[in-house]
């Protein structure tokens, strides 16, 4: 539909109907002491050519940085074919495929996506995605509570080293459902959950446990032990994983003797750019018996009256589809465009490609960590096995080191004391498959030059005869 702006007559008629003389009066309830952004930096009206040139000049101010930072958002290579296909009109402009007869292409993509995620997680079914990894975990916990509807408990166990941002999202969403987050015992020496003390937890009020793999520090948790402990205590086990790691690590459906009940993840590593932090997509999968509690939408495959294959929205558990009281979620819109990208990514990579990707990420991170630890004043904080992120401690002058990284256009890693004050001078470093030997060497050189030049030099005295 063509956009038709309101005319001055229309505006005056609307203002008159609500008893306001000027349109500014609509906002008079906003206190004058609240700061208001001025728009004086915006240029006057431009034509298309001038606007593009102006935008390009602004973009040039952003340096191209070499990224060694992960912490939930990862700099992976994205084959050009992915977004060449994903930005085709039929994918780019489509939304929810309510009319199956005109949405077979989109529905098939969603069906293929669900099939791949279920296979990757080694579980029975998956939905058509959620907003992001954090909300997918929140939805998984709400789903676990519905499964445990006979359980009077209101607490869920989470790892101490769950992503801090995920904790904030969980607190925001779950507190409204009167669900309390309880952290599991933590081994500060190993940087992981202390499974020895699990049996000391009072579980009477606990209905589910979240198992993260790897954890926020990149450490590999003892997922098999925790999954079996959850099963023995009749708790719903929820896996929260990095999907890239599944190229090498055991999938959640195979954890312990019976596997995790629900698994969720952030799908950004699968063909979605970092984009300054979003948008992303949430992945969620579960055992078949819990299908009715899965939030969002699920696409099914069927045949029509003429025996032709067709795809339809099989389960839709949002309040706009069913009675509000029976809805499982009201934040279940799937991230359609990013789902298309992730589906193409998994199709192009295949099992061997995902294995090769995970192995390269593992090798790159271990190589840079090992080489860093050869430099005096640098050490690996935790002696525990890790995947493709490692916590590295640097001696003084740490701030001078960060300045050198900045001048070299390197994002050196996540400064952990931002979230954990006790981890002073520590960086969480990630080296994906995109980090070349030259880039890794540049990183190492920055550290060597900064730390070694500040070490006291020995001076030898020569005695003349």
Sequential pLDDT tens for the chain (465 residues): 455 678 889 989 999 999 988 888 888 888 888 877 777 777 778 888 988 998 899 888 888 899 999 999 999 999 999 999 999 887 877 767 778 888 888 899 999 999 999 999 999 999 999 999 999 999 999 999 999 999 999 999 999 999 999 999 999 999 999 999 999 999 999 999 999 999 999 999 999 999 999 999 999 999 999 999 999 999 999 999 999 999 999 999 999 999 999 999 999 999 999 998 888 999 999 999 999 899 988 899 999 889 999 999 888 776 666 777 777 777 767 788 999 999 999 999 999 999 999 999 999 999 999 999 999 999 999 999 999 999 999 998 999 999 999 999 999 999 999 999 999 999 999 999 999 999 999 999 999 999 987 666 544 434 443
Q: Residue 316: what pLDDT?
A: 79
Give the residue among 93, 217, 221, 202 at the shortest CA–CA distance from 163.
217
- Cα separation, 136 vs 450, whole angstroms: 42
- Cα separation, 46 vs 55, whole angstroms: 11
Q: Residue 463: what pLDDT?
A: 41
Backbone CA torsion sign across 24, 26, 31, 35: negative
Q: Which two tokens stand for residue 410?
A: 């390197």
Q: Residue 457: what pLDDT?
A: 57
Residue 264: beta bridge partners? 240, 284
Question: Per the confidence metrics, is the pTM higher than 0.75?
Answer: yes
User: Position of tokens 């860093």?
Assistant: 372
- Cα separation, 313 vs 421, whole angstroms: 48
Residue 290 near residue 263, CB atoms below 8 Å: no
Q: Residue 43: what pLDDT?
A: 75
Residue 317 near residue 291, CB atoms below 8 Å: no
Q: Residue 465: what pLDDT?
A: 34
- Cα separation, 44 vs 185, whole angstroms: 59
DSSP conformation class of 423: S
- Cα separation, 460 vs 16, whole angstroms: 91
Q: Residue 74: what pLDDT?
A: 97
What ranges do the domains of the chain cover? 66-72+350-451, 80-347
User: Position of tokens 């309101």?
Assistant: 6
Residue 192 near residue 215, CB atoms below 8 Å: yes
User: Position of tokens 């991170």?
Assistant: 365
Residue 191 near residue 161, CB atoms below 8 Å: yes
Q: Residue 329: what pLDDT?
A: 78
Cβ neighbours, 10 Å, residue 290: 18
- Which three-class secondary structure state does DSSP give residue 451? helix
- Which three-class secondary structure state does DSSP give residue 410? strand
Domain 80-347 has CATH 3.90.950.10: no
Q: Which two tokens stand for residue 180?
A: 């309390």
User: Position of tokens 């039929």?
Assistant: 90
Burial 125-145 (b: 16+ CB within 10 A, else e): bbbbbbbbbbbbbbbbbbbbb
- Which three-class secondary structure state does DSSP give residue 210? strand
- Cα separation, 85 vs 340, whole angstroms: 9
Residue 261 near residue 287, CB atoms below 8 Å: yes
Burial 307-335 (b: 16+ CB within 10 A, else e): eeeebbbebbbbeeeeeeeebbbeebbbb
- Cα separation, 15 vs 26, whole angstroms: 9
Q: Which two tokens stand for residue 154?
A: 């209101």
Residue 392 near residue 426, CB atoms below 8 Å: yes
Secondary-structure class of domain 66-72+350-451 per CATH: alpha beta
- Which three-class secondary structure state does DSSP give residue 4? coil
Written as one string, the DSSP assignment of 274-312 is: -TTT----EEEEE-GGGGGG--SEEEEEEE-TTS-EEEE
CA atoms within a 13 Å half-sphere pointing along the CA-CB vector of 60: 6
Q: Residue 8: what pLDDT?
A: 87
- Which three-class secondary structure state does DSSP give residue 262? strand
- Cα separation, 396 vs 133, whole angstroms: 36
Alpha carbon 325 to chain centroid, angstroms: 30
- Cα separation, 317 vs 402, whole angstroms: 49
- Which three-class secondary structure state does DSSP give residue 158? strand
């Amino acid at each position: 539909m063509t956009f038709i702006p309101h005319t001055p007559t229309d505006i005056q008629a609307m203002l008159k109907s609500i008893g306001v003389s000027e349109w500014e009066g609509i906002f008079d309830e906003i206190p004058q002491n609240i700061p208001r952004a001025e728009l004086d930096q915006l240029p006057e009206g431009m034509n298309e050519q001038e606007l593009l040139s102006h935008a390009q000049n602004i973009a040039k101010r952003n340096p191209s940085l070499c990224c060694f930072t992960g912490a939930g958002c990862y700099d992976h290579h994205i084959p050009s074919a992915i977004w060449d296909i994903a930005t085709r009109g039929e994918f780019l402009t489509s939304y929810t495929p309510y009319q199956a007869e005109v949405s077979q292409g989109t529905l098939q993509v969603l069906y293929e996506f669900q099939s791949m995620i279920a296979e990757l997680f080694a579980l029975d079914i998956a939905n058509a995605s959620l907003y992001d990894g954090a909300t997918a975990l929140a939805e998984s916990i709400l789903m676990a509570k519905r499964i445990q509807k006979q359980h009077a408990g209101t607490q869920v166990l989470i790892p101490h080293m769950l992503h801090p941002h995920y904790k904030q999202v969980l607190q925001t969403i779950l507190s409204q459902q009167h669900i309390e987050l309880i952290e599991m015992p933590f081994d500060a020496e190993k940087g992981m959950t202390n499974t020895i003390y699990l049996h000391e937890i009072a579980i009477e009020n606990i209905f589910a446990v979240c198992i993260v793999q790897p954890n926020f520090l990149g450490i590999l948790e003892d997922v098999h032990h925790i999954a079996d402990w959850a099963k023995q205590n009749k708790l719903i086990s929820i896996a929260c994983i990095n999907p890239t790691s599944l190229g090498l690590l055991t999938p959640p459906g195979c954890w312990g003797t019976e596997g995790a009940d629900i698994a969720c993840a952030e799908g950004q590593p699968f063909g979605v750019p970092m984009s300054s932090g979003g948008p992303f997509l949430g992945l969620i999968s579960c055992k078949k018996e819990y299908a009715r509690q899965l939030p969002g939408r699920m696409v099914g495959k069927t045949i029509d009256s003429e025996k032709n294959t067709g795809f339809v929205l099989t389960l839709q558990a949002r309040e706009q589809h069913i009675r509000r009281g029976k809805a499982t979620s009201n934040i279940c819109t799937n991230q359609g465009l990013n789902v298309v990208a992730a589906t193409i990514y998994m199709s192009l990579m295949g099992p061997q490609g995902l294995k090769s990707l995970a192995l390269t990420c593992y090798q790159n991170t271990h190589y840079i960590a090992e080489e860093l630890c050869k430099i005096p004043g640098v050490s690996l904080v935790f002696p525990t096995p890790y995947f493709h992120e490692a916590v590295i401690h640097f001696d003084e002058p740490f701030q001078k080191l960060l300045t050198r990284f900045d001048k070299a256009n390197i994002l050196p890693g996540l400064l952990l004391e931002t979230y954990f004050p006790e981890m002073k001078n520590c960086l969480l470093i990630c080296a994906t498959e995109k980090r070349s030997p030259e880039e890794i060497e540049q990183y190492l050189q920055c550290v060597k030059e900064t730390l070694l030049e500040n070490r006291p030099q020995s001076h030898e005295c020569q005695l003349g005869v």
